[in-house]
Structures are given as structure tokens and as C-alpha cells.
């Protein structure tokens, strides 16, 4: 079995109002010097697959087809 972590983040230039709100909340808690905060998503996926190359290709296809909206989001796949 292969385990993977997929990270989905907003592309540069895409406004992230949730990240902004978190940024303000952190400042409000007294954390000085907090710059931009961007919110993203993490997916931990288990695959019944032993071939790492095949697994990576499948995981990328999953991102393109469902897990990320590539109009506004980037993704990265890491085998863990």
C-alpha cells in the first residue's frame, strides 16, 4: 500500500478572504509580524498500489479531475 499527501493551495493572485480573516485573527491574538496567510487543503490518501510511478500518475489525475480546481488552485503530491 502507498500513502500519499496531497496539498491544495490557492494560486497567486487569487483573493483568499478566509486567509485574510485568519491573518487578522492572528494579529489580534498578539502574534506580531504575521505577513500574508493563505488557507489550503490537505488530503491523505491510501492507495492499494505498489508501483510508485503509477501511484503518482493516478494521484495527479485525481487532483486534475476532482481534488483541485485548477482554475484557482495549485496542488502538490508527496508519497509518504
List of residues contacting another protein (CB under 8 A): 14-15, 17-18, 21, 65-67, 69, 71-72
Cβ at position 10, least distance to another protein in Å: 9
Partners of residue 77 on adjacent β-strands:
6
Cβ at position 59, least distance to another protein in Å: 16
Tell me the DSSP string of 11-38.
PTTS--HHHHHHHHHHHHTT-TT-----
Question: Please, what sign has the CA dihedral across residues 22, 26, 27, 29?
Answer: positive
Query: What span, in angstroms and rounded, lies between the C-alpha atoms of 31 and 34?
Result: 6
Whichever of 1 and 15 has its CB closer to another protein, that residue is 15
Cβ at position 79, least distance to another protein in Å: 22
Whichever of 15 and 48 has its CB closer to another protein, that residue is 15
Whichever of 21 and 79 has its CB closer to another protein, that residue is 21
Amino acid at each position: 500500500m502507498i500513502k500519499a499527501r496531497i496539498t491544495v493551495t490557492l494560486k497567486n493572485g487569487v483573493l483568499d478572504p478566509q486567509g485574510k480573516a485568519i491573518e487578522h485573527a492572528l494579529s489580534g491574538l498578539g502574534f506580531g509580524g504575521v505577513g500574508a496567510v493563505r488557507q489550503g487543503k490537505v488530503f491523505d490518501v491510501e492507495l492499494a498500489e505498489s508501483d510508485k510511478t503509477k501511484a503518482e500518475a493516478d494521484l495527479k489525475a485525481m487532483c486534475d479531475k476532482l481534488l483541485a480546481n485548477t482554475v484557482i488552485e495549485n496542488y502538490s503530491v508527496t508519497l509518504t
